[in-house]
Amino acid sequence: MNFSLLITVLLTAVVLVAGAYVVAKLIGPRSYNPVKGEPFECGIPTRGSSWMPMHVGFYLFAILFLIFDIETVFLYPWAVVVKQYGVMALVSIGFFLLVLVFGLAYAWRKGVLEWK
């Protein structure tokens, strides 16, 4: 790849981001209200502190969802080219799925998928 092309792309990206930021600052509203800084949930004012601890199970469940969601994203391009690569493609995707199944089994055994 040409080095000057890389520099051009990076500079273009920086200029576009900086330009969008400057335009937003110039034409955006400038009013500040202390109420805007308060936590907000569906039009209902919060009671108490908004910084309450969350159960780690929600985080773990979300991470597992992302892992298996990304798995399906990787399966689609594989399915498109599987005929071209033959048995090696089947072996590689089999290994990929095996690793994911072991990860799911580990999470299941640790009790991550149980709601308490």
Q: What would the pLDDT profile of 40-79 be if each residue is shown by its tens digit?
A: 666 666 677 767 777 777 888 888 888 888 888 888 888 8
- Give CA separation, 1 vs 7, 9, 13, 14, in Å: 11, 12, 18, 20
Q: What is the DSSP letter of 48?
A: S
Q: Give the DSSP H or E segment for 34.
A: none
Structure tokens belonging to residue 87: 């048995």
pTM, entire model? 0.48
